[in-house]
Amino acid sequence: MNSVNQTSTALTLSDGRSASTGNLGFLWLLPVEIQVLELLLAISIFVTMHALRRRKREGLTVWPVVGMLPSLIFALRHDMYEWITSLIERRGGTFIFRGPWFTNLQCVVTADPRNLEHLLKTKFSNFPKGGYFRGTVRDLLGDGIFSADDEVWRRQRKIASLEFHSAEFRHMTVQSLYELVHSRLLPVLESAHHDRKPIDLQDVLLRLTFDNVCMIAFGIDPGCLRPGLPEIPFARAFEDATEATINRFITPTAIWKALRYLDLGNERRLKRSLKRVDEFAYEVIRTRKKELSLESGDDKKAARSDLLTVFMRLKDDDGTAFSDGFLRDVCVNFILAGRDTSSVALAWFFWLLNRHTEVEDRILGEITKILEERGCNSEGESGDKDLVFKPEEVKRMEYLQAALSEALRLYPSVPVDHKEVVEDDVFPDGTVLKKGTKVIYAMYSMGRMESIWGKDCRDYKPERWLRDGRFMSESAYKFTAFNGGPRLCLGKDFAYYQMKFVAASILYRYHVKVVKSHPVVPKLALTIYMKYGLKVTFSGRNGAKLVK
């Protein structure tokens, strides 16, 4: 007989039957409280051992009921993006997050370029934005390009794509940017330079791109970037509506829907801000319709080429004009898409330059060379403070383009993005995807993968983008800052032009110095803002040669 049987105790129950208690027989002799405690202890040890065994297998401790949620909550208090990166690295490129039971927090997180190509291009139709995303953002984005899938998306993409590549549109974007930089941005910076006062450069750049994208979408300048940096009601309402919409993603669906029904909390804020956004949008649409109806043939030739006007002039497939609601969605989506991305990228770029003066010197060297080719000395046309870079000169700033791309590699404006699986599928790395699974692709982590960029992946090195001194772009599935495949960022070329024009115009005039001990950390949001902004001072380059 083995030892288990030797230690068993036979007990006589009240009905006369006997029961063997095995090893736990002695428990009957202990007070009930101690029995319960012992049982709880045994269960805890079992659960912990099981959870830890799964940690080895799955990368994180998986607790009963709450899954990996405790680790996520812990990470939220630290650097979430770095946490995701280290997890993905440990798991060889793809990680499966198990959320609490009965929640929609289960997802696959990947930074493997093969998987990115699969989901963004090869099996594009199997990975739409999906119903969950659309349902969550519908109140703000409606049926606009950012949230739509299938035919609704395709139709807008086609029209907007034609427009973005038209000569009129390019002329309008160049002109609007020139006006904003020279009549608004540079005077604001000059005044900060003159007063020797630190200024939040991220805030200034956000204002610049908000005004710029409103000019492109609505043909209207809201005037956020002005001396004194005033608060503009439409910009504030847009900001509030975006933030309140994002909050829905971290609130269980049933709860935010109940709050919306009861008109409470975040949902109340969203409703109020949306009302102001809509009032503004519909007012612009009404006014533009009136203007267009009064236009004569000659006026039409010199017509506006903002997106609103372009969509108003077009007809739907069945020959009817687009509804005001649809026109509103088109504009709001473009403002959201083009609003903060390039400004935030520029803020990280200026911060990186501060730590890499050798890169700043090379950019200035490139600018000097381009100006010399124009026939200027290195201070411009006799030290001309009003010097304006021409579009073809901006295009030739290839080192600057490399320096901006390198900033975007390390700090992609959209740090993570997501898709939903329509039919069961398998990623090229072997990860099994069940219908309905959420897939998160982590652009931030992709920029920091040794397997993609080599041992120096965390270093800021614009040179990695150059071949024989010329800028060479990377595969969109390796450098995913602008997305890839059919949903590649529509504003990519414009964004590069905008960032290069702004960066060159500032660097030609000032050395931008980040205020000592100013904390710079990313904020957890859809766009990778600097949590505390970027406090800087300026020293003028007036009269001095650009490069020492």
> Which residues make up the interface to ligand HEM (CB under 6 A)?
145-146, 157, 213, 216, 334, 337-338, 341-342, 345, 408, 413-414, 417, 481-483, 487, 489-491, 494-495
Q: How far is the CB of 303 from ligand HEM (least distance, A)?
A: 20
The number of residues making up the chain comes to 548
The Cα 413–Cα 527 span in angstroms is: 5
Q: How far is the CB of 467 from ligand HEM (least distance, A)?
A: 23
Give which of 131, 151, 152, 135 is closest to 143, Cα–Cα. Answer: 152
What is the secondary structure of 286-335 as a DSSP string? HHHHHHHHH--HHHHHT---SHHHHHHHSB-TTSPBPPHHHHHHHHHHHH
Structure tokens at 271: 């409703």
The Cα 267–Cα 246 span in angstroms is: 11
For ligand HEM, the closer CB: 142 or 338: 338
For ligand HEM, the closer CB: 69 or 408: 408
The Cα 331–Cα 206 span in angstroms is: 18
Q: 515 vs 310, 518, 522, CA distance in Å?
A: 44, 6, 17
The Cα 428–Cα 114 span in angstroms is: 6
The Cα 222–Cα 284 span in angstroms is: 11
For ligand HEM, the closer CB: 161 or 539: 161
* β-bridge mates for residue 530, sequence order: 522
Structure tokens at 313: 């002039």
For ligand HEM, the closer CB: 368 or 401: 401
For ligand HEM, the closer CB: 219 or 338: 338
Structure tokens at 371: 């100006």
Residue 509 CB neighbours (<10 A): 20
Q: How far is the CB of 381 from ligand HEM (least distance, A)?
A: 30
For ligand HEM, the closer CB: 348 or 399: 348
Q: How far is the CB of 529 from ligand HEM (least distance, A)?
A: 13
What is the 3 state secondary structure string of 58-81? HCCCCECCCECHHHHHHHHCCCHH
Find the residue with minimal CB distance to ligand HEM. 491
Give which of 90, 102, 103, 106 is closest to 58, Cα–Cα. Answer: 90
Q: How far is the CB of 181 from ligand HEM (least distance, A)?
A: 15
For ligand HEM, the closer CB: 22 or 131: 131
Q: How far is the CB of 351 from ligand HEM (least distance, A)?
A: 15
Structure tokens at 348: 């990280």
Q: How far is the CB of 339 from ligand HEM (least distance, A)?
A: 8
Q: How far is the CB of 404 from ligand HEM (least distance, A)?
A: 8
SS3 content of the chain, % helix, strand, coil (to 5): 55, 10, 35
Q: How far is the CB of 519 from ligand HEM (least distance, A)?
A: 23
For ligand HEM, the closer CB: 59 or 522: 522
For ligand HEM, the closer CB: 9 or 247: 247
